[in-house]
Structure formats: structure tokens, C-alpha cells
Amino acid sequence: MGNTIKILLQTTIPFTPDDWHAGRFSLLKEHLGSIRGEEGSELYEVTARNREEDRDGSDSVLSSLDRSDFDELWLFAVDTGKGLSPDDCAAITRFRQRGGGIFTARDHQDLGSSLCTLGGVGACNFFHSINPEPDVSRRQRDDQQTLSIDYPNYHSGSNGDFQVVEPVGELHELLRKPDGTPIKYFPAHPHEGSVGAPACDASARVIATGKSQATGRTFNLAVAFDRSVDSNGNNLGRAVAESTFHHFADYNWNTDMGCPTFVEESPGTGYKEDPAALGDVKQYATNIAHWLSQA
């Protein structure tokens, strides 16, 4: 890797104005691009784009990601099942096999279920109709307010509010502030998805949980995959899987940025009343970018 880490921030849908296109993650892109090294140099070069299919139905960049000069892929799965082609998945797999870092984020029910087609990190994402949660007792509605959305739909709070993060096990460096104290807050969302560490992958562990404001039930917020060697001897890059892309969406950092018209719930005012709390998720994003790039 060169001095500047190249990040691809990509969605799994073509540009659609009234949807979760790449422009709705502009505050994250701006934050990552603003991070500087000790001498003031730019640490991350961020390219944000939406899915663009070629004549074979594959994305023009993802399908050759392993041959690109990107160091990290931040993949926001906002599709309902067809956001990645077989060629896309194969190239993303080869990208990680050559040491590339991968971040994925999805949402409720089957939103982002194309992630299940990815090797390794795909297995940690549980959806309604594909790869459901192993614990059968969790296959039930959590959020009771938006009845058009089914499980998994953990209610951590309103968009625009923040939730308390509980570290799992030894405090992971992804959740550590520069002074050594733990990150306390993530953006809340009325219906988060479900992630968990695959039983067959010793490199993966749940690093943080949240608590449902509807049922009081604890649920996983993020899974981290450390570097490991696969059965073919490839040195796999690190990866992070998030329960919802709303931890990083503009609307959840600042509700004045707006959202698609299909969002039914009224927003909260948590970050407007306590803007300093937003520093936690920005630090978390900084930590992810750094951690994914480390050998």
C-alpha cells in the first residue's frame, strides 16, 4: 500500500434519487477525507460511487476490484437481493485474498441480502428469508411500530438519536478512543439488521452490542474479522460487518440532510441536542479505516 490509502465507498444499487444512493453517505466520505497524518498529509483518498452494470450485469468496478489499486472496500448493501453479480463476488473475494480490507453494512429484513453471496463476511449476515438467525427464538419482530418491516428489525431508537454501545469481551481497538476510553454511542435506528460471528471462522468475533428500546433485548452491532490464512494459503485482509448502514448515513448524523420519502418514522433530536456525541461514531469510522489498512 502507498502512503495514501485508497477507499472505495460503494452502494449495491444504481443511482436512484429517492433511495440510499452514495450521496447519502457524504458526511462519512467528507470525514474520512479530512483525516490527516502527523505531518498534515492526507491519509485516505475516498471514491464514492453507485452500482453501474455492464452488459453482463456486473458492476464495472467491483467485478475487477482485485485488479484495482483500492486498498479498502466500504460496501453499503442497500439492495433487496440482487446487488452483487457472481463476477462481483468473485472479484471481492480475490480482493480480500490479496489483503484488501472490507467493510460491509446492511439493514433490516432482507435489505442488503446480496451480501450472503460473499465468501467469509457473507456468513455473518442474517436475513429474513436468506441465512436466518441461528437462534430460532430471534426470528420474530422486534420493532412493533413500522409493520411493513419484518425481522430482523431491532429497534435501537429513532433516526437522529444515538444508542449506548456495549463492548463485548476485551475492548476491541475499533471501539477505543485516542485516550484509551471506550466509544459509547452509535447512531440509533428503528429497525437494525442482524450480524453474528460465523461459528466456523475463528478470526471473527462480535465486538459490540446494543439494546432494543422496544423489547429490551440485546443484539449485535458489529463483527470484526482479523487477518487470517484461508485453506489455500491466502492472507485474508481484515473485515468489519455492521448491523445497519444507518450508523453511517447522513440522515442519522444530521436529520436535516433528508432521507428517501419511503422512510415512515419521525426523526429524533438526540444529536441536535448533544452534537458532541457524534464524535464517537466519527472516531469509530476513523478506527475502521486505520484498522482495515494495517498488515
CA 274 – CA 243 distance, rounded (Å): 24
- Convert the pLDDT of each residue in 59-73 to its tens digit: 999 999 999 999 999
User: What is the mean pLDDT of the segment spanning 50-63?
Assistant: 96
- HEC-encoded secondary structure of 112-150: CHHHHHCCCHHHHEECCCCCCCCCHHHCCCCCCCCCCCC
Q: What was the pLDDT predicted at 119?
A: 86
CA 40 – CA 81 distance, rounded (Å): 42
Contact between 87 and 114 (Cβ < 8 Å): no
Query: Which helix or strand (DSSP H or E) is residue 72 part of?
Result: strand 72-76
CATH number, span 5-293: 3.40.50.880
Q: What was the pLDDT predicted at 261?
A: 98
Q: Reply yes or no on whether the pLDDT at 1 is more than 50.
A: no
CA 92 – CA 83 distance, rounded (Å): 13
Residue-averaged pLDDT of the chain: 96
- Convert the pLDDT of each residue in 153-184 to its tens digit: 999 999 999 999 999 999 999 999 999 999 99
Q: How far apart are the first and last CA of the chain?
A: 10
Classify residue 85 as exposed, middle or buried by CB count within 10 Å of its CB (0-12, 13-18, 19+).
buried
**What are the residue ranges spanned by the domains of the chain?**
5-293
19 Cβ contact list (under 8 Å, min separation 6):
13, 78, 260
- Convert the pLDDT of each residue in 208-218 to its tens digit: 999 999 999 99
Contact between 207 and 175 (Cβ < 8 Å): yes
> What phi, psi does 176 have (nearest 5°)?
-105, 130
Torsion, Cα of 271, 282, 122, 108 (10° steps): 10
- Convert the pLDDT of each residue in 96-119 to its tens digit: 999 999 999 999 999 999 999 998
Q: Reply yes or no on whether the pLDDT at 295 is more than 80.
A: no
pLDDT band of 148, cuts 50, 70, 90? very high
Q: Which three cell numbers stand for residue 222?
A: 458489529
**485516550: which residue's cell?**
179
- Convert the pLDDT of each residue in 12-44 to its tens digit: 999 999 999 999 999 999 999 999 998 889 999
Q: What was the pLDDT predicted at 271?
A: 98
Q: What was the pLDDT predicted at 39?
A: 86
Q: Reply yes or no on whether the pLDDT at 221 is more than 60.
A: yes
Give percent helix, percent strand, percent coil of the chain, each to the nearest 5. 25, 25, 50
